[in-house]
Structure 1
Amino acid sequence: METKPVLEVLDDEDNYLEWSVRVKTYLMAQDLWDIVEATNEPPTPKNEAAFKAWRKMNAMALHVIQVSCGPDTFSDIMEITSARNAWETLAENLTGESDKKGNINGGVKIYDKLNEALKIGDWNAAKEFLKLHPNAISAKITGRDKTAVHVAAEAGHVHIVEELVELTSAENLGIKDDMGYTALAWAASNGNYRIAECLLGKNKDLIGIAVNAGPIPVVLALYNGHLELGRYLYVLTPLEILEANNGTDGASLLYTAISNKALDIALDLVRRCPDLAFARARHGGSALLALSFMRDCFPSGIRLVFWKRWIYSSIHIQSACAIEELRLTVQKLPGNGCNDKDTSASGIKHLYEMKLAHFLSNELLRCMTEVISIANHQQRVAGRVYDAILRATKEGNFEFVFEIVKADPHLVWCNVKNSRNIFSAAVHHRHAKIFSLIYGLDMKKTLVDSVDSFYQNNLLHMAGMLAPSTSLNDIPGAALQMQRELQWFKEVESIAPPKVLAYLNKEGLTPREFFTENHEDMRKDGEQWMKDTATSCTVVGALIVTIMFAAVFTVPGGNDQNNGFPIFLHKKLFMVFIVADALSLFSSSTSVLMFLGILTSRYAEEDFLESLPRKMIIGLSTLFFSIAAMMTAFSTALFLMLHEQSWIFKPVICLASIPITLFVLMQFPLLIDMAKSTYRPGIFDRKMKRWF
């Protein structure tokens, strides 16, 4: 067999692609490529005939490779006697990695120029490279096995992706990189709507190609917060894909849509495929579990000032048709990128969006509860229904808990194995609205009497546990926190049978003993807080007493030297001064006495329930009143003395009121909070009607 030299000479990595293609073609034509491509070891000299045949073909193939190399590249393989090793050496030296099968691998140096051009968006340079190397359009051009379309899509160059899509085949668009991502997967992750549209215009099957054992493109888009792109991909995703593999992809989509508040997608998907409510997502979560976390998607999870509540209540959504209408209304409202001048418009838009989210959440929950109400125990376990109820109770998601247990009241036992019910969790996490549901049940005595199997705690023991910090953060001061804890304990105690009060848990403690042990540190903190507050206020009250007492004997204008009566005795403003002075003196004295009573209190647990808060309320109220009366007396006295010099006394009165006003503003919220906590009707709704 005669071998002829190849005209293409290998100089460096710039022409390696063309050289390798031509040499490979020539070797195949001469039946020599098998020597280069072979992965098994050559025959040994013991097998003389086979060895001689292999040696001859190896020499012929090696000669072809050698004569087609330039001086520099020949020096790299001059000492090599194996054609296969020579080929791999050249591939490794000029491309950065060895090719065991004789193919041209991605991530090679010859594609560096193309890779760089695609990254910076230089289509002219990329086009010139592709003209010289047409096969590069489908090659893996980076060390991460990315094709040209991958690189352009990841960089976000829409115009380049459009050009590349025209040049490549539909099948090539489905090539995955080393992470399992197609170009569409990168576009979905980055939220590039136009690139996704372009890719799907060439190959609609890309919509169902998942990342290796991972999410499909629509899930990637929603997971990364690209809701508009997610809606576009969702419309194009066939239901067959979402229902395949026991609904894994559909459940993943549903979970991700709920978690990222694409509630319109979630609602439509549940309506189309109700069984997805029980399907598990790839990571093991379920749609119901995702919704249980979303407290702010329900009305009970928000707090609005009165004018926002009024606007919120005036927005009505009564049908599914109103959803799109409301969405269009939201889009027309100003508020995107708002500045200080249009914050009110932004606030109104936020209320519209909130109302829409609440409507969608309620509809979604209603659809799920319809499925749950007819499901068996195995389906509920698979769909993590019990976990979802427990989580919603911990989060304080009232609407979620109420709708589900209303569909099936037996679901109040969210953990049958441990005999735990939703009211145990509600008490432990201090969610009064959820606990109030117990008043709508006939079996509340049974629920209070139930004991968990691990710690042997009944419901009253749960009330004796220290509340989580998240439940106490909204309560100012350790004393009020201690008061709230006592209120919870007393409320549960009021509906507990007598035997529950004496029941011993695993630690051998009754509920009351358990409460005392867990709240000892809080009681000490509450005592210190009360003493510190009372001490500060006592100093202020005593100062006012001193000033007001002295003011009576140094009245404005002085006294008549003949009869000792004040000179301004018959002026009406003088009588105002005297009355204000007396009121300030008496109220400040009362305040000091109340605070002294706090300082000398015994600080027993029961004192924090009403005794200590009542003394603090009276003390603060009389202190504030004495400050107001003192300001009145000061202003009146100043006016009596300088009534003809208004330009002096008016600004002086204003300046003098600043420190006192600041003191009132800082302490007045405490008074309001304490009064609400002590004298409000109750933190529970005892008038709850039967709800099933």
Structure 2
Amino acid sequence: MEKEIIISKPDMDRFNEMSEPYKKVLANDVHGLAAIYSGNPDALFNPITARIDTIFHIAAYGGHEEVLRVLLRMVQPPKKAEVLKVKNIYGNTILHEVATTTQVNAARLLMEEVLPGNDNWQREEILGAQNKLGETPLFRAAEYSCKMMVEYLATAIGRTGNLESHYRRNDGTSILHIAVIGQKFDTAIWLLGKSPELATYTDKNGNTSLHLLASMASAFKSSSPTKGIFKELIYHCLPSDSRKEEGTNELTKNRQNRDLEQGEQSRGLNQQDYCKGWKMIVQIWKQKKMHESAVKLAKLLVETDASWFEPHEPEEDDTVIMERKEEEKEETSESNATANTKRSPEPDTPLLIATKTGIVEIVNEILTKYPQAVYHIGTNGRNILHVAIMNRQYKVFNVVKNIKEAKRLVRGIDNHGCTILHYAAKTKYYHGGTKPTPALKLQQELTWFEEIKNQMPSHFIMHLNKRDTTADQLFKDNHLDLLKTAQEWVKTTSRSCSTVAILVATVVFTAAYTAPGGFLQNGRPILLEQPLYSFFTVMDVAGLASSLTSVVIFLSILTSSLEFEDFHHRLPRNLSLGFTFLFFSVTSTMMTFTATILLLVHLEKKWTATLTYAAAFLPICIFALFQFPLYYQYFVAAVKSILDFLRSNLPVIIRTIIDLIIRNWVLICTLCSSHFGFACKMFARFYEIIRYRWSAHSPRKASLLVFHLDGRCQPSELLDLSGDFLSILTSSLEIEDFCHRLPRSLSLGFTFLFFSVPSTMLTFTATILLLVHLEKRWTATLTYAAAFLPICVFAMFQFPLYYQYFVAAVDSVFDFLRKNLPGNSELIRIKNDY
């Protein structure tokens, strides 16, 4: 038979006896505690929690000074010394618990009430009591409490004992280590002032306090920037920590001690008193003070740091290797497997750790104090540039590359045969970058790779690492997944935006037919004399032109190859332009609707009109609020790429144009003389048409003619277009098809497609010219220019692709004719001339 399990009935009386005083301590109920323990003072030493905490432990941990005072009065004088010797399950005394709070008065109460007189031996015993980790109350205060608590306990220890016995716990961690780990930087600075030798203490892993500080990215401004322009502005406007260091002024120190002893605070207003109720400002201020304290601590710790002087000779010298032997490859693959298990890839000195985490303050401080530290090489043969590039620490890289002594570092090769360009190609430590979308992330990686390549000697670009790979090959292999993600995102976004743009174009095109107020029998708008009607017309035309332009741009993106090179400059720039025109078209459409409401709605009461007009403008504000961040990212990326392109290529472009003019000036003059008369006639005819459109107020016959011409030619083009592309879709798509037939069919399909789209745009333009009635010439000029904008943009963006397919088709036709017709030499001459 199975053994019967008997569950004992819990002792509810014991639970109530433990929970009642616990609740009263948390509620700071002094009278309730006095009622419980006044008849039985010995019960004060009984545990009331599962951690074997007494009522004194709970009161001390909560910093309840008044509760401690009342409880100590109930303890008989012979047993008062025992109060500070009682330990819980972790070996913590009451002084250990109160040391974790900021209540210095509570610690002073325990020391003066429990240990009166000059019993130095007993004071030393209680202050030096260790818990199971080997921590004294002073050690615990450095980890959890404030600087004032550490000062008080250190002063009390200094009167009776030796401070150095409190500086380490059982695992070798020093009191300075624990203060840095707890980010109590003010305490750490004070401890260093008290005992400067603490800066050289190492833990069981051989790390100094500077090692730990260099790994805390959140403690420094450069590696944890404030997010948001508004928060950044508040951060810079807030004053620095202007509090004077305690102890520098004896009068101030005595006054602070007197206030502390009496439980009072100075009546002077603190700076933070003005920020109460503004939690965000207080949080930013605390962050700024922490940053300043961390920088001050780093300066003190760098004074004694010599870790950068440890020499580590790299396995390879700065020699370019274009080909490796097969035996070397085999040895490398075997040695890498064992080396990866033995060596840690993490930087092992404060300089390289700060480089990895992006703490520019520590890097600057070390390189300013010890300029020769820039040549430090880690255990794996990496220098500071390798580490900065590998972890995408752009700020550190910019600091180091501007140092004259660091020019030799770009030739550094680590133990795996990798240059800094190989590390720019690796994504092992890449965490997504700082950009929001895959396309911008890939652009950031391409720009980063290009910048590193420009810093290197040209012959180092083709260097092979020990896996027989160049940096370019490594970049493409490691970024293939990001490329696929970016391609899918660009295609999806372009399709979605094209759909939205077409919908907007349809809406604004319809709005042009249904003008607010309607038309007279002669086609003149009824509300033409209203000032808002011109605004309505301009916004409608702008919406139509910008929406069609965005469709053209997104179409050019969809028809591009979407390779690595496209994501460097062209695609982000086109996306930025597409988003710009799309956002402008949506905004123009909303403004058109707003103008329509203002034209049609007539309200007598002012408050009703105000609410109606505010509601009319609400969509515009919401759209700007939600869509501006994404547009801003792409706009900034596009502007940067354009500026970089102009900065690097503008002198070359200007020199090329001048050189072409000088070389071909005879041909240019001939062309100008032969076509000058024709050009003048065309310009005069165009001017007459524009002048006619300005002066006429009835439906235009010229515009109507363009409308009919485009309407007649467009269906046949669409039929040819559908036939060409349908033939491609139904083909077998074998290798032979790609030789001649498919490029030729694609060229014809693109030709008809490109011709049908401008025809459609011209139809829209003609409609605008027919319906738009504007009195002012400058308004009409801008409107007509906007109407022709989509056609110009379409030609500019789509012509390169069409040109490539057209040339391929013409080449295939010439090849076919050369093989099948006589007179090949004449065909070859014609093809070469072409």
Asked if 2 retains the 8 angstrom alpha-carbon contact of 1:289 and 1:387, the reply is yes
Residues 1:364 and 2:262 aligned together: no
Question: How far apart are the structure 2 equivalents of 1:187 and 1:619?
Answer: 64
Any residues of structure 2 matched to 1:414-433 within 5 Å, and which?
415-433=377-395
* Residues 642-681 of structure 1: pairs in structure 2 closer than 5 A: 642-643=601-602, 654-655=614-615, 658-659=618-619, 661-680=621-640
Shift of 1:643: 5.0
Partner of residue 541 from structure 1, selected from 501, 504, 508? 501
CA contact (8 A) 2:135 2:169 kept: no
Paired residues of 1:149 and 1:164 also in contact (CA < 8 A): no
Aligned to 1:449: 411
> 1:479: Cα distance to partner?
0.9
- Deviation readout 1:209-236 (Å, 9 max, x if unpaired): 3224522212223434566544432443
1:252 positional shift: 2.3
Give RMSD over aligned pairs.
Answer: 4.4
Task: Determine which of 243, 251, 260 is the counterpart of 2:164.
Answer: 243
> For the residues of structure 1 that align with 2:38 and 2:309, how far apart are their CA atoms?
61
Rounded to whole Å, the distance in 2 between the matches of 1:237 and 1:219 is: 12
Deviation at 1:358, TM superposition (A): 3.4
CA distance 1:530–1:661, shift in 2 (3 Å): farther
Shift of 1:597: 1.3
Distance 1:608 1:165 in 2: 81
CA distance in 1, matches of 2:310, 2:531: 82
Q: Aligned partners of 2:400 and 2:442: how far apart in 1?
A: 24
AA of the residue aligned to 1:356: K
Aligned twin of 2:452: 492
SS at match of 1:333: helix
For residues 562-601 of structure 1, what are the structure 2 equivalents within 5 Å? Answer: 563-601=522-560
Per-residue CA deviations over 1:220-265 (Å, capped at 9, x if unaligned) read: 2343456654443244343974434986699622122223332222
How far apart, in 2, do the equivalents of 1:461 and 1:237 lie? 56
Out of 616, 622, 625, the position equivalent to 2:581 is 622
Secondary structure at 1:372 match in 2: coil
Question: Pick from 627, 631, 635: which aligns with 2:594?
Answer: 635
Is this contact kept in 2: 1:560–1:566, CA < 8 A? yes
For 2:98, the equivalent position in structure 1 comes to 187
Alignment partner, residue 312 of structure 1:
236
CA distance in 2, matches of 1:467, 1:447: 22
Q: Distance in 2 between matches of 1:191 and 1:645?
A: 66
Give 5+ residue unaligned stretches, structure 1: 1-110, 379-383, 687-692
Q: Which residue of 2 aligns with 1:400?
A: 362
Provide the residue aligned with 1:334 in structure 2: 273
**Equivalent residue, structure 2, for 1:557:** 517
Distance 1:654 1:114, change over 3 A: closer
Deviation at 1:191, TM superposition (A): 6.4
Which residue, 104, 123, 144 being the options, matches 1:204? 123
Q: What CA deviation, in whole Å up to 9, does each residue of 1:122-168 have, x standing for no partner?
A: 5677576568x9xx98x999998989976876797513245448333
1:605 Cα deviation (Å)?
Answer: 0.9
| Matching of residue 532 in structure 1 with residue 532 in structure 2 | no
| Residue among 210, 213, 232 paired with 1:291 | 213
The residue number in structure 2 matching 1:15 is none
Quick check: 1:223–1:260 contact (8 Å CA) kept in 2? yes
- 417 and 146 in structure 1: CA distance in 2 versus 1, 3 angstrom threshold: same
The answer as to whether partners of 1:387 and 1:414 remain within 8 angstroms in 2 is no
Q: Does 2:194 match 1:272? A: yes
Q: Which has the higher mean CA deviation after the structures are superposed, 227-236 or 586-595?
A: 227-236
Paired residues in the alignment total 556
Query: In the alignment, is the contact (CA less than 8 A) between 2:134 and 2:169 conserved in 1?
Result: no
Does the 8 Å contact 2:61/2:98 carry over to 1? Answer: yes
Q: Structure 1 residues 416 and 560 mapped into 2: Cα distance closer, same or farther (>3 Å)?
A: closer
Q: Is the 8 A contact 2:180 2:209 kept in 1?
A: yes
- TM-score, with length taken from structure 1: 0.69
**1:204, CA displacement in angstroms?**
2.8
- Supply the AA of the counterpart residue of 1:502: M
2:177 is aligned with 1:216? no
TM-score by length of 2: 0.58
Task: Quote the Cα distance in structure 2 between the aligned partners of 1:556 and 1:429.
Answer: 60
Deviation at 1:545, TM superposition (A): 1.4
CA contact (8 A) 1:373 1:408 kept: no
Letter in 1 for 2:300: C
User: Distance between the aligned counterparts of 1:390 and 1:621, measured in 2?
Assistant: 43
Secondary structure in 2 aligned to 1:502?
Answer: coil
Identity over the aligned pairs, expressed in percent?
28
How far did 1:282 drift?
6.6
Pick one of 460, 467, 473 that aligns with 1:507. 467
Decide which of 597, 603, 612 is 2:562's aligned counterpart. Answer: 603
Matched AA of 2:487: E
Residues 656, 198 of structure 1: CA spacing in aligned structure 2 closer, same or farther, 3 A cutoff?
closer
Structure 1 stretch 273-282 or stretch 513-522: which is displaced more? 273-282
Letter in 2 for 1:665: L
| Counterpart for residue 253 of structure 1 | 175
Cα 1:600–1:210 change in 2 (3 A) is same
Distance, in Å, in 2 between the alignment partners of 1:552 and 1:285 is: 74
Question: Is the alpha carbon distance of 1:678 and 1:162 closer, same or farther for their aligned partners in structure 2, counting shifts above 3 Å?
Answer: farther
The answer on 1:461 being equivalent to 2:411 is no
**8 Å contact kept, 1:118–1:152:** no
- C-alpha change, 1:637 and 1:140, in structure 2 (3 Å) is closer
Cα distance change, pair 146–363 in 1 and its aligned pair in 2 (3 A)? closer
- 2:390–2:423: 8 Å Cα contact kept in structure 1? yes
Please give the alpha-carbon distance, in whole angstroms, between the structure 2 residues aligned to 1:638 and 1:143: 72
8 Å CA contact 1:315, 1:355 repeated in 2 = no
Q: How far apart are the structure 2 equivalents of 1:662 and 1:307?
A: 22
Distance 2:188 2:178 in 1: 9
Partner of residue 82, structure 1: none
- One-letter code of the match for 2:297? L
> Structure 2 CA distance, aligned partners of 1:276 and 1:229?
19
Q: Which amino acid aligns with 2:225?
A: I
Deviation, structure 1 residue 679: 2.5
What is the CA-CA distance between 1:420 and the residue it aligns to?
Answer: 1.4
Cα shift at 1:270: 1.3
Structure 1 counterpart SS, 2:355: helix
Q: Compared with structure 1, are the counterparts of its residues 416 and 552 closer, same or farther at alpha carbon in structure 2 (3 Å cutoff)?
A: closer
Q: Hey, what's the Cα distance between the residues in 1 that align with 2:54 and 2:243?
A: 47
| Secondary structure, aligned partner of 1:482 | helix
2:225 maps to 302
Q: Which residue of 2 aligns with 1:411?
A: 373
Letter in 1 for 2:476: T
- Measure the CA separation in 2 of the matches of 1:112 and 1:556: 81
Counterparts of 1:51-66 in structure 2, within 5 Å, are: none
Contact 2:509-2:544 at 8 Å conserved across structures? yes
3-state DSSP class of the match of 1:168? Answer: helix
- Determine if contact 1:580/1:629 at 8 Å carries over to the other structure: yes
Q: What letter matches 1:448 in structure 2?
A: V
Q: 1:231, 1:417 → 2: CA distance?
A: 40
CA apart distance, 1:603: 0.9
In structure 1, the residue corresponding to 2:414 is in which secondary structure? coil
Distance 2:637 2:502 in 1: 28
Distance 2:179 2:635 in 1: 44
- Report the CA distance shift for 1:449/1:245 in structure 2 as closer, same or farther (over 3 A): farther
Give structure 2 stretches of 5+ with no counterpart. 1-13, 26-32, 116-121, 257-265, 312-345, 648-834
For the residues of structure 2 that align with 1:405 and 1:237, how far apart are their CA atoms? 39
In 2 relative to 1, CA 255–164 (structure 1 residues): closer, same or farther, beyond 3 Å? farther
Which string of whole-angstrom CA distances, capped at 9 and with x for unpartnered residues, describes residues 416-470 of structure 1?
32121222222222221111022222344432222222x4322111111227465
